[in-house]
Each structure stands twice: as C-alpha cells, then as structure tokens.
Amino acid sequence: MNKTQNSNKKILIVTTNTSALDDFHKTGVWLEEFAVPFLAFKEAGLDVTVASPLGGESPVDEDSLECKNPTEWDYTIKELKNTSKLDEIDYESFDAIFIPGGHGPMIDLAKDELLGSIVSYFYNEHKIVSAVCHGPAGLINAKNRTDEPIVKGMQVTCFTNAEEKLVHKEKLVPFMLESKLRQLGAIFNEAEPWSENVIADENLITGQNPASAKKLAETVIKKLCK
C-alpha cells in the first residue's frame, strides 16, 4: 500500500493535559514518545489527529527537552499547543488510536471515562489500540464485550516498576502502572530497563519506554497498512 492509499487511514493520538505530579514535580507528554510516532505516521501518509480531554495545550515534560533531540521533534511540539477536544472528535471514523506516555497520563487519562469508552470501542471493533510507556494508563478503564478489562489475558507491557524506581517517581505516581495492569489480569512482558520492547497481541500494541516508540510506530503502521 503506498502513501496515497494510506492517506485514507486515520489515526487518533490522545495526549495528556496534566502538567504536574505535585507542586514540585512537573510532567506532561514525553516528547520522544509523541514525536517519533507522529513523524512516522505522517511519513507513512496517515491522516493524524491529536486530541486531549480538555483540548488546547498538551504540556511537554521539560525533562524530555534535551539539546541532543533531533530538530524535527521541535516541529511536532506545535501539534501539542492546540489539540482537539476529545469529546468533539468523531472517533468512530478513525482506524487506530495511540496514547503516548510521560507521567501525565497517570493523572488524567487513567481516570478519563470518555477515553475508556473510546478505547473500548476501538478494541471491540478490532481496530488498533496502541500505547507506549505510561500511555497504557489510558487503557485501564476500557472494557471488552463481556465487560472485563481489555488487558485481561492479553500480552502487554508498559513503563515497568523497575524503571519507575530508577527515575525515583514511585512515590509520586498515584499507582504503579505495571502492578495495575497485572491486577487487571494482563500477561505482563518486561524487558531490561530502557531496552526496546514492543508487544503486539491481536489488535493491542504496547511499548515499554521511550526507546520503544519507534518500533511501536512501525508495528502500528505495518498492521494498519497491510
């Protein structure tokens, strides 16, 4: 399938509106986890829409803004400055959904009921559901057709408990995402901290950390455009 044909395929990226974990620790979207897939999706010719629960700005985690970052990542930040409001999106017209990480999703996306309903729709309609790092926090409220968590019995990954402890955020997050996914019945797949790890189980595709963003995007594109 060429790029022109791919332009008929639509992917919805849902990002956080959360800018801080508390009064002393800022957060947001981890830029690499947004920029790398966004650029890959655009390069493949996909129609990309970026939305967030509140619309408007989706803050970028300042710790992800490094001088060594490729300059093309800076271009993608403008997409986060004015996101669409999630409840104004015709989500049923999309072919796939992707949720990037950063610690922000642990605060808002993890408890967003509309996002839970949207992810449930994508999963149950056998459309692609994908998320990376802390992005799978946006999956925890999604249910399958038997009203069980969509992650139950599914192979998944996310930012691991070990990685959370290595960045000293285990006492700042409202819950440990790996532990939550296991609690919901997921079959958790853990690789060494900071190593690339992408797990695809049917239409559910998850990545462990920022290093997994590129492979996750490639996996989504391959499945969506086959």
Report yes or no: 150 and 127 within 8 Å, Cβ to Cβ. no
Angle, vertex CA 54, rays to CA 73 and CA 50, nearest 5 = 35
The pLDDT of residue 4 is: 55
Q: Which residues contact 139 (CB under 8 A, 6 or more apart)?
A: 99, 119, 129, 131, 150, 151, 156
CA distance 106 to 158: 12
Predicted TM-score of the model (pTM): 0.96
Give the model confidence (pLDDT) of 198-209 as tens digits: 999 999 999 999
User: What average pLDDT is seen over the chain?
Assistant: 96
The rounded distance, in Å, linking the Cα atoms of 168 and 218 is 30
E-assigned strand segments in the chain:
10-14, 47-52, 84-85, 96-99, 128-132, 155-156, 187-188, 198-201, 204-207
- Where in the chain are the domains? 3-224
CA atoms within 13 A on the CB side of 25: 13
| pLDDT confidence of residue 8 | 86
- Of 213 and 7, the one with more pLDDT: 213
The predicted-structure confidence for 134-161, as pLDDT tens digits, reads as follows: 999 999 999 999 999 999 999 999 999 9
* Confidence at residue 7, expressed as pLDDT on a 0 to 100 scale: 63
Please write the tens of the pLDDT for every residue from 97-136: 999 999 999 999 999 999 999 999 999 999 999 999 999 9
Q: Architecture of 3-224 per CATH?
A: 3-Layer(aba) Sandwich (3.40)
Q: Is 91:14 a contact under the CB 8 Å cutoff? A: no
- Predicted confidence (pLDDT) at residue 1 exceeds the cutoff of 60: no
